[in-house]
């Protein structure tokens, strides 16, 4: 009995210290730099418009995105630089009343500067909201159907995003971060829509 009690006391003490350190970090928002990584599912919304006077629509299959972040915390306010790479498959194109299955990809490389605000909800749970703006390089395949060419140009555009997430601060200096992001890319030309997408991701943030 005595040996079990002696073993359980250090374990309980370690648990209290771990929870206390996480609680302090979530409550005080200590200033300092951090790095992060994330990955998630990427869903581009359909592009609708007209090309050469004919109505056209381009559909995408779900894809993925990976990213790396470098940030600095000013108390509850954080600034962040991010590099994000996303890939989705081209699914179906419809033009001039004719549809055709596609076999190609759309690649997007985004570099953004963001600003995020953290809130204290409960110990170890830190919701946040924010967004970023920057540049997106878009590269995709072109397709001709019934004499109408729908082309995704290899070009760089203005981009922005809004994001909400929740940092789970169970370990000292490490947060697990599920989040949702809405992405906008100013790629629309002529009568084609701008590119928009939804990203549901899971990340890890390492504070120093």
Give per-residue pLDDT as tens, 156-190.
999 999 999 999 988 888 999 999 999 999 987 65
What confidence score (pLDDT) does residue 92 get?
A: 79
Number of residues written out for the chain? 208
Question: For the chain, which domains are there?
Answer: 2-207 (2.40.160.20)
What confidence score (pLDDT) does residue 10 get?
A: 44
- CA 69/CA 64 separation, integer angstroms: 17
- Which H/E stretch holds residue 137? strand 125-140
Give per-residue pLDDT as tens, 19-42.
444 444 445 678 999 999 999 999
Residues 6+ positions from 172 with CB-CB distance below 8 Å: 18, 21, 22, 25
Give per-residue pLDDT as tens, 191-203.
677 889 999 999 9
Q: Is 11 helix (H, G, I), strand (E, B) or coil?
A: helix
On whether the CB atoms of residues 88 and 47 are closer than 8 A, the answer is: no
Q: For the chain, percent helix, then strand, then coil, each to nearest 5?
A: 15, 70, 20
What confidence score (pLDDT) does residue 163 get?
A: 98
**Could you give the percent of the chain with pLDDT greater than 70?**
73
Give per-residue pLDDT as tens, 74-131.
989 999 999 999 999 887 777 666 677 777 788 999 999 999 999 987 888 999 999 9
- Render 66-119 in DSSP notation, one character per residue: EEEEEEEEETTEEEEEEEEEEEEEEEEEEETTEEEEEEEEEEEEEEEEEEEEE-
Which pTM was predicted?
A: 0.79
**Could you give the percent of the chain with pLDDT greater than 90?**
50
Taking CA atoms, 161 is separated from 46, 47, 76, 89, 182, in Å, by 18, 18, 20, 21, 5
On whether the CB atoms of residues 58 and 98 are closer than 8 A, the answer is: no
């Amino acid at each position: 009995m005595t040996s079990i009690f002696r073993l359980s006391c250090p374990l309980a003490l370690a648990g209290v210290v771990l929870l206390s350190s996480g609680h302090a970090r979530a409550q005080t928002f200590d200033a300092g730099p951090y790095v992060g990584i994330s990955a998630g599912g990427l869903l581009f919304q359909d592009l609708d418009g007209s090309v050469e006077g004919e109505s056209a629509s381009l559909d995408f299959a779900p894809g993925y995105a990976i990213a790396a972040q470098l940030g600095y915390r000013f108390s509850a306010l954080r600034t962040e630089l991010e590099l994000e790479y996303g890939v989705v498959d081209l699914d179906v194109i419809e033009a001039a009343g004719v549809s055709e299955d596609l076999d190609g990809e759309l690649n997007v490389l985004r570099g953004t500067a963001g600003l995020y605000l953290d809130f204290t909800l409960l110990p170890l749970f830190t919701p946040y909201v924010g967004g970023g703006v920057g540049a997106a390089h878009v590269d995709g395949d072109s397709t001709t159907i019934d004499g109408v060419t729908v082309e995704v140009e290899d070009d760089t555009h203005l981009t922005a995003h809004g994001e909400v997430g929740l940092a789970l601060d169970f370990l000292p200096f490490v947060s697990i971060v599920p989040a949702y992001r809405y992405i906008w890319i100013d790629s629309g030309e002529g009568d084609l829509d701008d590119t928009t997408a939804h990203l549901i991701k899971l990340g890890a943030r390492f504070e120093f």
